[in-house]
A and B are shown apart, each in its own frame.
Chain A
């Protein structure tokens, strides 16, 4: 992946005010590149005058930040109690099989990232799969196939 230093620098200039802007800058980078490139952490640490170790510490602490590229489409499967007893493990299994990745993983072509989450608070709709922020309720293994087909088709 080609990371443009100019682009990174512009992004940092937009978000940065002082060394307290580290998280704001990293959030911007994550939104733009779907992960935090090594170059971004080094540039951010130099321009905001924080040690690289601190930038790395922040990057590894928050789940919102990723050091490896996330897929274009993020699938979150709710594993909360209600969804669990309604069959979310089977839904998750189906996704694992169809995509060929495990929890937290990303497909090799970087199209899909699969993750489990704890409870979305929409238990009446369970089991739930969230695709790029869109909630799909009452999921079954069969509906997984339909969902994946729909997303892949929209890709073109």
Chain B
């Protein structure tokens, strides 16, 4: 067992826990946007930053990916952390201020308006869709392409993906609803954000095509997606 301190609370966890998992299991709230229990941490959104107090000063680490170590002292609501969190949200608001998830964060932190606005974009490049497609579904039909201002999620060569199985897991895990799915007939679907229109095929988790609604209840549970 590992012993550490988060917000002056002594905490005991087993080896392998991340700071975020340890905190959340003990009722300490840390916001995230790119984290999903069923996926490996990606540390992209930087909302989960916490302060680690060390002998030579403090540093900020991404709690979703930082493993718990014996004797760590972490703070989740210090000035350092709140300043960092505010900066992250301000940057998010510059392109995604119209999204409810971002507005909620801004309200909680008391940020009135972004200091800069850029072209509005539903996608916050959290990478959840890409990671879910690769790690859960096992297909990897989409990826993050280009760099800098042109970075986006897309299929190879921006054409209809031959690998996409139309399971719409990407749409399910997307925290902002940037991915649109349209069900034409029972087996056929179109993923609108990138051109992909085929008959739905089974993924490696289910051996048959699940009937009825696009997202069966136990599939949501399997992914760890909660209705917010």
Q: Do A and B bind each other?
A: yes
Residues of A within 8 A of B (CB): 38, 41, 51-57, 60-61
Contacts of A60 in B (CB 8 A): 145-147
Judged by a CB distance under 8 angstroms, whether B155 is at the interface is yes
Evaluate contact between B145 and A61: CB separation under 8 angstroms: yes
Closest residue of chain B to A51 (Cβ to Cβ) is B140
- Using known A-B contacts A38-B157, A41-B156, A56-B156, determine if residue A51 contacts B146 with beta carbons closer than 8 Å: no
Evaluate contact between A53 and B155: CB separation under 8 angstroms: yes
Contacts of A41 in B (CB 8 A): 156
Evaluate contact between A52 and B145: CB separation under 8 angstroms: no
- The count of chain B contact residues (Cβ–Cβ below 8 Å) is 16
Judged by a CB distance under 8 angstroms, whether B144 is at the interface is yes
Evaluate contact between B157 and A57: CB separation under 8 angstroms: no
Evaluate contact between A56 and B157: CB separation under 8 angstroms: yes
Judged by a CB distance under 8 angstroms, whether B141 is at the interface is yes
Evaluate contact between A51 and B157: CB separation under 8 angstroms: no
- Using known A-B contacts A38-B157, A41-B156, determine if residue A53 contacts B141 with beta carbons closer than 8 Å: yes
Closest residue of chain A to B130 (Cβ to Cβ) is A53
A55 to B130, CA, bound (A): 14
- Using known A-B contacts A38-B157, A41-B156, determine if residue A53 contacts B140 with beta carbons closer than 8 Å: yes
A52 to B155, CA, bound (A): 9
CB distance from B222 to the nearest CB of A (A): 22
Give B160-218 interface residues, CB cut-off 8 Å to A: 161, 163
Evaluate contact between A51 and B141: CB separation under 8 angstroms: yes
